[in-house]
Amino acid sequence: MAELPTRSLSLTINGEAIGPVDVPEDLMMIDFLHEYQGLTGSRLGCGQGICRACVVILDHDDGTSEEMRICITGAHFFNGKRIRTIEGHAERDAAGDIVALNPIQQKFIDHFAFQCSYCAPGFVNAATVLVERLQRDPLAAGELEGAIEQALGEHICRCTGYVRYYQATRAVIEELGLAKEG
C-alpha cells in the first residue's frame, strides 16, 4: 500500500502540549481534532468556512486572540501554535468535573441561548474572542450592538433566531463594564 504523505505536528490545545504527531500533510484541523484527538466539540457544519460551527480560538504571543475556521484550515498551519477549543473553557476539578464556566458560557446557559447546540461552540468562541478584545480595548456603549453583529454575524444557527446569543453576549460585555457610556 502506498504511504500517504505525512508530517510531524506539535501544538498546544487548551493548555496541553500535543505531539509531535505524524498526520497527513493535507489534513484539515477539524479532522485532526475529531479523529486524532477525540475532541468533537468543534463541529463540522459546512466544510466550506461558511457556517462557523467549527470555530476555535487561536492565541497569539502578543496576548491577542482570533477566531479560526478549522474546517478550511490545515492542521499543519497550527504547528507550534496555541489554540483553545470549546472543551477548554470551563474550569474543572481534578476529577474532570466542571467547576465554573467562562462568562460567555454561563450567560448563554442563563439565557437559554442555544437549542440543539450544534453551533454553540462557534458562538462561544467568537463571543469569547470579542470579550477578550474588548477587555483590551473597550468600546463606546453605542457601538456595542454593531460590535456583536460584526463578531457573530456570519455564524449560522438554524434553531434559535440568534436572539438569545446576542442578548447574552451583550449582557456579558455590559456586566464586565466593557461598553463605556459617553
Partner 1 sequence: MQHPHLSRRAFLKGSVAAGIGITIAPLGSRAFAALFESRVTATPEPWASPGGARFRIDAFSKVCGGKVFARDIRARDMPGWPRQQGHAMLLKANRADHAYQGFELSSLDESLHPDRIVTAADLERDGIAFPDSHGPDPLLPQGKTPLYIGHPVAILIWHDFARYRAAKNALKFRDDLIRYGAATGEVERPPYGSFRYVRVGGDTPFAPDEFSSLKDSDLFPAIKNRRPVWPDDPSLNGDVGERGLYHAQRMAEQLEQPPENWEVFQARYTTPYIEPGALEPDNGNGWFDADSGELHFVVATQCPQEAARETALMLEGSRFAVRHLNVHPGYTVGYGSKDHNIFVYYAALAAMYGDGHPIRLANDRFEQFQSGIKRHPFDMDYRLAVDRDSLKFQIFRAHLDVNGGGRANYSASVAAVGATAAQSVYYLPRSDLATTAYPSRAVEAGSMRGYGTLQTMAATEMMVDELAERLGVDPFALRRANLLEAGMKNTQGAIPGGAIRVGEILDKAERHPLWQERHERRDARQAEDPDHLYGTGFAISQKDFGTGAEAPMASVEIDAAGRIRLRQIAIDMGTGAATSQAMNVLEVLGRPADDIKTGETDWSELALETSGNPYTMSQDEQDRLSQTPRWTPRLASPSSASNSAYYASHATREAARLVFRHGLWPAALSIWRQGIYGGQANPYVIRLEDARWVEGHLTANGMTPLSLATLAAKAHELGLITGASVHAFNRWSWASAEFALGEERSRLPLDAVAVKYGDGADDDKRRLMSSHGYHLLDRQAMRYPDVQLNNAHVTYYSPVATLVDLRVSKGSGEVEILEHYSWVECGKPIVSELVMGQLEGGVAMGIGHALLEHMPLYEDGPGNGSWNFNRYQVPLARHCAVWKQGGEILPPLSETDPAKGMGEVVMIPVVGAIVNALAHATGQRFRDLPVTPERIQEALHG
**Interface with partner 1 (CB under 8 A), residue from 11, 105, 131, 178:** 105
Are 126 and 151 in contact by the 8 Å Cβ rule? The answer is: yes
User: 160: closest CA among 150, 170, 168, 148?
Assistant: 168
Are 90 and 101 in contact by the 8 Å Cβ rule? The answer is: yes
**Interface with partner 1 (CB under 8 A), residue from 13, 41, 129, 178:** 41
Q: Is 78 in the site for partner 1 (CB under 8 A)?
A: no
Nearer to partner 1, 26 or 175 (CB): 26
Site for partner 1 in 117-156 (CB under 8 A): 117-121, 124, 145, 149, 152-156
User: 53: closest CA among 119, 3, 147?
Assistant: 119
Nearer to partner 1, 28 or 134 (CB): 28
Q: Is 84 in the site for partner 1 (CB under 8 A)?
A: no
| Residue located via cell numbers 454561563 | 106
Total residues contacting partner 1 (rule CB under 8 A)? 64
Q: Is 39 in the site for partner 1 (CB under 8 A)?
A: yes
Query: In angstroms, rounded to a whole number, what is the distance separating the alpha carbons of residues 167 and 5?
Result: 47
Helices 103-110 and 163-175: crossing angle in degrees, nearest 10, is 130
**Interface with partner 1 (CB under 8 A), residue from 43, 69, 76, 84:** 43
Query: In angstroms, rounded to a whole number, what is the distance separating the alpha carbons of residues 93 and 116?
Result: 27
Contacts with partner 1 by CB under 8 A lie at 1-2, 4, 24, 26-27, 31, 34-35, 38-48, 50-51, 53, 85-87, 89-90, 96-99, 101, 105, 108-112, 114-121, 124, 145, 149, 152-164, 166
